[in-house]
Amino acid sequence: MDLQALFSWQDNTFFDLWSIVHILWGAVMGGVALHALSKTYSYKNLFITAFILIILWEYGEYLVGIIETWGNILTDVILGIGGYYLGYTLPNKLKTPDYTILIPVFVVAFTLTYIGWINYLAQ
């Protein structure tokens, strides 16, 4: 594996810096689902909704002109779902108060998305 490609914003076959962004936004969705929606909706319904939103995110990337390989798209979806699972389950396992993890993860996800988007526009 080419480490320089792994640590770049360039679309690579499977993993790149955008992979981290997909994990983090998945975790944000999981945290929001846990803290704001889990008392109203079942885990199954929340999971399906997250899965659909992640696929729509990938479609949105396509609509703005980001063309990726199918391998990268599949990896992004899997990593987003993995992030969702972590965001939904980790706070309870760590016994942390509401939003203790969610807010910093949101800030990092937003910051990396901004940096990545600026890098994409500069290409």
Write down the domain spans for the chain: 23-122
pLDDT at 12: 63
Contacts of 116 (CB under 8 A, 6+ apart): 9, 17, 18, 21
What confidence tens digit (pLDDT) does each residue in 45-103 have? 999 999 999 999 999 989 988 888 899 999 999 999 999 999 999 988 888 776 788 89
pLDDT at 55: 97
pLDDT at 63: 95
pLDDT at 69: 87
Number of neighbours of residue 77 by Cβ within 10 angstroms: 17
Task: Indicate if the pLDDT at residue 1 is higher than 70.
Answer: no
Quickly tell me which residue has 């002109």 as its tokens: 65
